[in-house]
Structure 1
Amino acid sequence: MDKPTRLIEFESMLFTRHTIPFNARKWGAERELDRSAYVLLSRIQIDGPLSISQLSQAFGLDVSTLNRQTAAMLRAGVVERIPDPEGGVARKFSITTEGERRLDADRARSIRSLERVMADWTPDEVAQFAGFLNRFNRDIERLEGRPWPRP
């Protein structure tokens, strides 16, 4: 393995440790959602209502894991179960007004925290970093066969 790849591995490990959207206390902002709810709601917000099997395919997660996560989200009032808008048999999870509010609030906190971290970066450096992250994520998604829709 060459040195740049080793450095990327190490920095990736640290990046996941420091991930701002999920380490809010350290950045002075209490989160409204836990990590799994934040990610699931983000996907539902982009795709619209999704069934458990669609969520399972999208995330590569077990149905039992998703049942636990969506049950917690139902109790929190951030999703609701609705009939399939396209007339299918399976019920789907739709984001509630409260879920939208909490997701948007957490996303705004995350963006403010990122802006704080990159306050000394030039706009070009921020854009380059965003481009590299986008490419990196898309290449992972391509290899996994699970592309993530982007707004």
Structure 2
Amino acid sequence: MASGTPALTAPPPGPGEDDLALADRVAHELVMLIRLVKRVGAHRAEAELESAAFPVLAHLAVDGPQRSGEIAAAMCADPSTISRQVAGLVKAGLVERRADPGDGRATLLATTTDGTRILDLERRRRAEQLATALSGWTPEHRTQLAELLSRFVTDLQVHDQGGTR
């Protein structure tokens, strides 16, 4: 090979059949988990909180006031979907519109006192249900589940954005 010529390397091998079978099993379990979480959410204590809007309310409570477009980007959701969810939250008095101090023409969305109260109740209810479901697990296994789920979500986000860890 001539000096200065870049070496050609083979692309890394793709996943093998065992890897694909395991990934398919994980995907199946995730679909079942999502269905169960939605079912659990359908039995919420407070009727004001539509289950689809719960993540929007939680996002605002954690990350603070934001524009609707910022929420959509952060949640990887279509802006029109977020707008509909926000409209319902505003109508229910759980989110309010505020003037954006950086741009008087724009508005920021923020949780209201009622929104925070409802969110806290909903989080507590969900935590109680999950804690009950995990009550037969050892503390080490519960911790391991939380850590592995966090790692999986992070790795999936990185992969989705085309990056590497």
Unaligned runs of 5+ in 2: 1-16
How far does the alpha carbon of each residue in 1:45-84 deviate from its partner, in whole angstroms, 9 at most, with x for none? 1111010121121123222222211111110000000012
Aligned to 1:6: 24
Aligned to 1:148: none
Are 1:79 and 2:95 counterparts?
yes
Aligned to 2:158: 142
Counterpart of 2:117 (choices 94, 101, 126) is: 101
Deviation of residue 36 (structure 1)?
A: 2.5
Aligned to 1:66: 82
In 1, Cα distance between the equivalents of 2:137 and 2:78?
Answer: 40
Aligned to 2:62: 46
- CA 1:114–1:20 in 2, change beyond 3 Å: closer, same or farther? farther
- CA 1:21–1:143 in 2, change beyond 3 Å: closer, same or farther? farther
Aligned to 2:14: none
Deviation of residue 144 (structure 1)?
A: 3.2
Percent of pairs identical after alignment?
A: 31
In 1, Cα distance between the equivalents of 2:45 and 2:57?
Answer: 18
SS at match of 2:109: strand
User: If the length of structure 1 is used for normalisation, what is the TM-score?
Assistant: 0.84
Deviation of residue 116 (structure 1)?
A: 0.6
> What RMSD over aligned residues (CA atoms) do the two structures have, in Å?
1.9
User: If the length of structure 2 is used for normalisation, what is the TM-score?
Assistant: 0.77
Q: Rg larger in 1 or in 2? A: 2
Aligned to 1:149: none
